[in-house]
Amino acid sequence: MRLRVWWMVLAALWLAAGCGGESSSSTSDADDTATVDTGEESDTGEIVITYDTVSPDTVPVDTYVPPQPGEFGYTCDSNSDCNSGWCIQTADGRQCTRTCVEECPQFYDCREAPGTDATYICVPSFTHLCDPCEETADCNADGQTGNYCLSYGESGKFCGGACNNEADCPGGYVCRLVPVGGGGQARQCVPPDGTQCHCSPLAKALQLSTTCFIENDNGKCEGKRFCTQGGLNSCDAADPYPESCNGADDNCNGIVDDFPPNYQCFITGYPYGEDQPEHACPGQGTCVEGVETCVGEAPKPEQCNLIDDDCDGETDEGLCDDQNPCTHDFCNDDGNCEHTNDNTLLCDDGNVCTQVDKCEDGFCKGFNPLPCGDGNVCFDYHCDPVAGCLSEYANGAACEDGQPCTINDKCNQGVCVPGSWDTCDDANSCTNDSCVANQGCTHTNVTNGLPCGGQSGQCTVGQCISGSCMGVATNEGGTCNPGTSMTGCQQGVCRSGSCNVESRPNGYGCIASSKDCPTGQCNGGVCLSTPGINCTAEYDVDLCNSVDVNGVCTASGECNVSQAPPGFTCPGCAGICLVCFGIQLCLPF
């Protein structure tokens, strides 16, 4: 029973003096059920340990009882201070141990005592657990193997302890499968996740150290961490900086001022005066014994030479600007300015009244005029190229006041003023015309049969029928003037409202076309000479004289002579007898 209490005391001692961290611990890991991260390889090939742990369900009861003088675990300075005659080195300093055959307390191994033959004593399994180290040999006592120097990244390297399961590790440690370098893995006692190694009394006494580093984008600088009486100090590595010409290895790559030959540097200046921004031109730099030299051209005002003289990233800028947004302006190789049209360039014609501006043949032209106005006809709208849309009163302009019964509405001071009331006269005497407010003109038919104008004539009289003035036949059979030429034996007669040309009755007196028998009468619409009417026919008796002879008219209009007048007869002549130059001539009837 005394032995069990002693081992619990020893375990508590390890917890207090070892590298175990603040408060985290883990549950048993005999079946490897806890989450394990085997680590990852850094840029230098070192293996960095990371892992997850689970907090224990119970907290052990502290039953520590200090050892008696000379007993196992008692602090000693020499072998004579110990009952067993053996004072050995532990992580907590020199302590008494005991001899053994095979069995030793937990976290102790039975090994041959140094300088003896067949004498075995109990020595600590983890003398250097969580101590700073540089190599695996730093973590094993004489004749001991299986403890590895494990990398914790930039924090440094610290000793692990060989284990098979959680029970093999002292309190405050967990057994994990971790990388041990060279691509191998081993189970080691390590601090739980989130805790760090601390310096044991032995590590403080020996002032053990480990290599650490600080790394950033500029490089990786190594330093040291030491176990002091105050504990493990911080990494004393310098911060990596970009290499500068100063005689130092700023980025910690082992080379001082490792600039490439003719590396790029910059020469600064104020080409347009110190009140303007500073410019920097690239040059070729050299670094010799910490002194930097930059050879090249300083910034100077831009010239038309196809060179970026002021080193602002643009060439010949502003030298050939013709203030035309529709041209490309540049210096040509002879140092003169050249301007080329580009219809794809964006431009502004300076006229707010155009909504789309385009380059055309080197000129900025505006398209799609800006519409001004809201459709109010009592305003005149126009667009000023600078001010934009403007308006003024359109006094006197025709407008519509919304009342259908007013006409000639006019604008006045931006308002549509109603005109006179509409009489709605449709020029139709057969309708009664009026205007109904908010509705408009109405036309109702007058009584059918009322007289109306426009349709009255020689054969018709105007009457209203269903709102229209219609011509009704009248003077049926009466005479009328058809408006066309007629013979003496024709006349105009009203028939069913029309003036028709008809023949006069037979026997109706007329003037015939015969010169000798003009008295005639109508027959079938034709004027014929009246037969039996006395007539006079003229006969020429010589070249200069004639004689009238009485006769009777025929229907054909001829004057029929049957008897010669006195003095114009001669025997045997049945006609007019003429004597011309003594010669008798008979003109028969």
Where does 469-571 have alpha helices with state H?
none
φ, ψ dihedrals at 295, nearest 5°: -110, 130
Which residue type is seen at 531?
Answer: P
Largest Cα–Cα separation, the chain: 228
Model pTM? 0.43
In this structure, the strands spanning 157-159 and 509-511 are unpaired
588 touches 540 (CB < 8 A): no
261 touches 280 (CB < 8 A): no
In this structure, how many other beta carbons lie within 10 angstroms of the beta carbon of residue 508? 16
92 touches 202 (CB < 8 A): yes
Cα 69 from chain centroid (whole Å): 89
Task: Write the DSSP assignment of 105-164 as a string of letters.
Answer: -TTEEEEEPTT-SS-EEEEES-TTTT-B-SSGGGG--TT-----EEE-GGG-EEE-EE-S
Lateral strand order in the sheet of 161-162: 161-162, 184-190, 174-181
d(CA 8, CA 18): 15
326 touches 343 (CB < 8 A): yes
Tokens of 3: 């032995």
509 touches 521 (CB < 8 A): yes
d(CA 406, CA 436): 10
d(CA 390, CA 372): 8
The confidence score (pLDDT) of residue 188 equals: 95
SS3 category, 552:
strand
Which residue type is seen at 18?
Answer: G
Closest C-alpha to 505, from 488, 519, 480: 488
Residue with tokens 């009466």: 478
Whole-number Cα distances in Å, 218 to 82, 97, 258, 415, 586: 57, 52, 13, 80, 165
The confidence score (pLDDT) of residue 544 equals: 65
φ, ψ dihedrals at 206, nearest 5°: -85, -5
d(CA 171, CA 420): 114
The confidence score (pLDDT) of residue 64 equals: 74
Mean pLDDT by 10 residues, the chain (589 residues): 31 34 33 37 45 44 82 93 93 92 89 85 92 94 90 94 94 94 93 88 94 95 95 94 90 89 88 90 88 90 91 89 91 89 93 94 93 91 92 93 93 94 91 92 91 84 90 88 89 90 90 89 89 83 73 87 79 76 75
The confidence score (pLDDT) of residue 49 equals: 53
Tokens of 158: 């610290």
d(CA 490, CA 340): 94
d(CA 530, CA 554): 7
CA dihedral sign of residues 148, 154, 156, 160: negative
Contacts 24+ apart (CB under 8 A), 511-518: 512/557, 513/557, 514/553, 514/556, 514/557, 514/558, 516/551, 516/553, 516/557, 516/558, 516/559, 517/553, 517/554, 517/557, 517/558, 517/559
158, β-bridge pairs:
132, 150
- DSSP tag of 167: G
Give the DSSP H or E segment for 480: strand 479-480
Contacts 24+ apart (CB under 8 A), 425-428: 428/467, 428/468, 428/469
SS3 category, 366:
strand
359 touches 326 (CB < 8 A): yes
Q: 11's torsion region: left (phi>0), alpha (psi -120 to 50) or beta?
A: alpha
d(CA 414, CA 378): 5
Whole-number Cα distances in Å, 234 to 154, 212, 215, 227, 231: 11, 9, 15, 10, 10
Give the DSSP H or E segment for 369: strand 363-369
- Counting every residue, how long is the chain? 589
Task: Write the DSSP assignment of 207-256 as a string of letters.
Answer: T-EEEEEEEETTEEEEEEEEEETTEE----PPPP----SSSS-TT-SS-T
Q: Give the end-to-end CA distance of the chain in Å, rounded to a whole number.
A: 203
Whole-number Cα distances in Å, 158 to 89, 196, 230, 325, 519: 19, 10, 18, 71, 168
pLDDT tens-digit readout, 448-500: 989 988 777 889 898 999 989 988 888 888 899 988 888 889 999 999 889 99
Closest C-alpha to 353, from 398, 388, 303: 388
